[in-house]
Chain A
Amino acid sequence: MTEIIRKLYAQILTKSHHRYRREWNEDLASDYCAGRMKPLERVARRFCAVLAAEKAIILDGERISLIRTVERLPPIFTPEEWRDIKDHHFIHELGCVCNISPDYASTISRGLDVRRTEALLRLESCRASGDDEGILFLESMIMEIDALFGLCERYRVEASRIGREDIAEIFAKVPRKGASTFREALQFFRILHFALWCEGEYHNTIGRLDQYLFPYFQADIAEGRLDEEAAFDLLEEFFLSFNRDSDLYPGVQQGDNGQSLVLGGMAEDGSECFNLLSELCLRASREFKLIDPKVNLRVASASSLRVYELGTELTKEGLGFPQYSNDDVVVPGLADLGYAPEDARNYVVAACWEFIIPGKGMDIPNIAALSFPKVVDACVRRDLVGAASFADFLAAVKRELGRECARLAGGIRDLWMIPAPFMSLLMDGCVSRARDVSLGAKYNNYGFHGVGLSTAVDSLAAIRELVFEKGELGTRDLIAALDDDFVGHEELLNTLRYGSLKMGNGDPEVDAVAAELLDAFADGTKELRNERGGRIRPGTGSAMYYLWSSREIGASPDGRRKGEWFSANFSPSLFARVSGPLSVIKSFSSPRLSRVINGGPLTMEFHSTLFQDAESQAKIARLVKIFIDRGGHQLQLNAVNRDVLMDAQAHPERYGNLIVRVWGWSAYFVELDREFQDHVIRRQEYVG
């Protein structure tokens, strides 16, 4: 880390740059309402107003500029208007375009002048054909491009004024013209990313930066403009830029801002894409230990052990990065869902772990969640008494699962999103179609999380053993025990809860139940279509549904008591006594995961002490490789020290920088609600 990077890093940690921020509470919505403006127009006007209110600030010594000074974007609808919209539409989360991956690369290489001309020409043809919607959309887009030019020009002037001719020179070129150096490309990215947040979109992912910026990096090195260390220095500063304004970005909890970076992966010919820039990105993340950007690493059976070893070095830092995904499983899985092979190969990771296609996917991969335990619970109460065999009962569960998928899909109608003309500029085909990306793109699939799988599987395994095989437990007795939350049924509770038939013990018969449930989830969603013609993608993630869905049912037949949570994502239940990480890997790599490829990682915590020596680290790298080689789809590996977490709860003031992985993202532990903290602490922790 160079001196200047150290200084900029310190600024991030001390938040000293926050002093440039100001509240800006213009009541835009009332004016827009009075003017009966259309949503597109409102978005564009607010964008222009915010950018006009932005002040050009260049921090001492920095080389990549742009910093938010306007704290909050004022709403574009009055509360009454927004209520009315919500009454008539299905609104996903905050109602904005979110959680997609823009194609930054082609604009970075071509420049916004060219893109603006494209829009202008298309606008002319819309005018000629009288396409009013197209006209409004393209006018809005052009207005926003011009507002961005205005801000960048102010940055150029400011740079000149303070004698930073290097910065002034860059702003004289980008974003109007395409970038030709690594530094210009990084600045260009920063401008585009900044603009998206100012337009109101969120969970704006980064994508395969190590691929699309590699040509600039390579050219600079080849032509002697930069050496590796100088390039790394710029990259580090660039990494810091993701942490400047991130506290202003919307999310469920602080840190949930979707700045996901994807490294490595396989090229079309099966060769490894992991390059020097990928390696430098891992190194930068390791040095800073900051929660942004969030690092994902694409691997496959052909990946060398060295890639895993570099990944493990980062895991050691305790950020919960990198999250691994397996090309061998993800790419064919996406292709089966109808993604073109070249698009599938180019997949990236959304805010948490959902697989999406940069520039082409307007998928909503977290639109709903299927709760496996809820399905099992319904069947226990309705079908178990009459079931002649376990096979009978399992068949009933699978049928109910199919019905639940259809119910969930049927509940999503009249989806509406706030338009996003600037985002549209970075999404394939929006300009040529003259339509906003909020209306759809090449891919318009919805993703369903699959929540509480291990709870459901453990419940079914217990029912098979105790009710059907051993005949020790009557169905009515089981239901009574569930209704009593096991009070007065303590021996049964102990047997169910701490017995050995758990997903995660590498028991083929138990794991087969998991495979059947996931297959049923895939079958149950296969024929469903959403109103945009897209499909439903089943997945193994949970997001915050591991808390929400657990409240929908009472006690469950795996010995889980009322009010206890499910495990997050694709993991053993919280109280299951599993044999250890090898068995967990066996269990969790055994289903056909390419069929449930919306995303959702196996999450494992390793005690931080396991990473202390190089030999142990190499073994962990090898274990990750084994999970991937066995067909695991996605893995989050955390280095956690339970004692540290407990101490952090007691003394939050001492642990301002302690980072943990929550579900799909890392957060500062002390900033989390107690509920989330407890969950992190209670997760299965493996100590060697």
Chain B
Amino acid sequence: MSADSARKRAGGGRGIIFDLREMTTHDGPGIRTTVFFKGCLLRCLWCHNPEGIAFEPELMVRSKGCAHCGLCARPCGHPECAELGRCVRICPSGLLRAAGERVRADELAERLLKTADIVEEGGGGFTISGGEPLAQPAFLFELMELLKPNHLAIETSGFASPEVFERAIALADLVMLDLKHMDPKEHARGTGVENAPILANLERIMASGRRFVARIPLIPGFNDSEGNMRAVAERLAPAKSRLRVELLPCNPLAGAKYPMLGRRYESIYPPEAAPRVDLSSFDSLGIEALVL
């Protein structure tokens, strides 16, 4: 599915988001609020935000505490419940909710800007994450224009057309770009897409002269090998004065949200496995790197 058709599916002119979080300390400098766009073109096997994958609202149900009263199964007539198959506005324990909210860029900007004074005082700004923010480009660009002149960061897989990527990095004050694997085949196995467009966009941001952050989710047995780390480091070395590498060891709670979406999480690594965390490839090339 192309990014453009994804945007259309998200609902003509509007965008779709699944969360808004304040005080996200790992999403850029200073005190920040992050909005999570819903929908992503990658299918990472370790994804811990599964509600960020589809471009449509989805039903999320927590089962712990459910009294099986059956109220949510009754017909309700609420427009937002229609496509979810359950009523999300009646549970006495608040166990059901719609993940995914269609929203206009100006409405979203207004909501985010409620904390603009605090994020500004805190030397921070706003971060647009996902899902994949670049998969809803028109919505993204409109939102970014509305949020200026606040400091803006985007977190992206880099899987986007050159035009969209160029425009996004021009609008953003900071780009955080994921590098999941340097090997094309392994990348395709782990994420469902090729890494060629991502690496091409990496070249673009390196050529742009902008500062950026390269992020590597560390997945045991998938991309934590010395070889892959060295390949990443070598690729980044020419831009070392303008970047920092952040390693994100896999989250042991990655699978927590899958049952809430009625899905099963099948981990590609055993639950007790811990990734190899080794900064030496970066250190030896003089690249700033840290573990988050």
Contacts and interface: CB of A to CB of B under 8 A. Distances in A.
A619 B33 contact: no
B132 to A, nearest CB: 21
Interface string B23-35: 1111000110100
A619 B25 contact: yes
A495 B78 CA distance: 13
Nearest to B96: A494
B119 interface: yes
A571 to B, nearest CB: 16
Contacts of B71: 490
Contacts of A616: 25-26
Among A613, A686, A688, which residue has the most Cβ atoms of chain B within 10 A? A688
A255 interface: no
A623 B31 contact: yes
Nearest to A623: B31
Contacts of B114: 506, 583, 586
Contacts of B121: 626, 629
A688 B124 CA distance: 15
Contacts of B122: 619, 622-623, 626
Contact of A583 (B22, B26, B76): B22
B290 interface: yes
Interface string A574-589: 0100011111011000
Contact of A498 (B31, B33, B94, B292): B94
Contacts of A425: none
Contacts of A116: none
A330 to B, nearest CB: 21
A42 interface: no
A579 B31 contact: no
A638 to B, nearest CB: 15
Interface in B101-122: 114-115, 118-119, 121-122
A586 B90 contact: no
Interface string B227-244: 000000000000000000
Given A585-B118, A622-B122, A626-B118, A491 B21 contact: no
B25 A626 contact: no
Interface in B42-95: 71, 76, 89-92, 94
Nearest to A578: B22
A686 B121 CA distance: 20
A644 to B, nearest CB: 14
Interface in A584-618: 585-586, 610, 613, 615-616
A76 interface: no
Contacts of A64: none
Query: Interface SS of chain A: helix, strand, loop or mixed?
Result: helix
Contacts of A686: 22-23
A493 interface: yes
Contacts of A491: 76, 89-90
A582 B121 CA distance: 11
Interface string B275-291: 00000000000000010
Contacts of A622: 30-31, 122-123
Given A579-B20, A582-B31, A494 B26 contact: no
Given A581-B23, A613-B292, A493 B118 contact: no
Contacts of B124: 619
Given A494-B92, A619-B30, A582 B25 contact: no
Contacts of B290: 613
Contacts of A623: 23, 31, 122
Contacts of A583: 22, 114-115
A187 B146 CA distance: 63
B35 to A, nearest CB: 11
Contact of B115 (A490, A495, A497, A586): A586
B26 A688 contact: yes
A506 B114 CA distance: 8
B202 to A, nearest CB: 24
A686 B119 CA distance: 17
B62 to A, nearest CB: 13
Interface in B135-171: none
A615 B90 contact: no
A586 B116 CA distance: 11
A581 B22 contact: yes
B90 A490 contact: yes
Nearest to A584: B22
Interface in B244-292: 290, 292
A125 to B, nearest CB: 59
Interface of B: 20-26, 30-31, 33, 71, 76, 89-92, 94, 114-115, 118-119, 121-124, 290, 292
Interface of A: 486, 490-491, 493-495, 497-498, 506, 575, 579-583, 585-586, 610, 613, 615-616, 619-620, 622-623, 626, 629, 686, 688
7 contacts: A491-B76, A494-B94, A582-B33, A586-B115, A613-B290, A620-B25, A623-B122
Given A583-B22, A616-B26, A688-B25, 16 more contacts: A490-B91, A491-B76, A491-B90, A494-B92, A497-B94, A506-B114, A579-B20, A579-B22, A581-B23, A582-B33, A582-B119, A586-B114, A610-B25, A619-B30, A620-B25, A622-B123
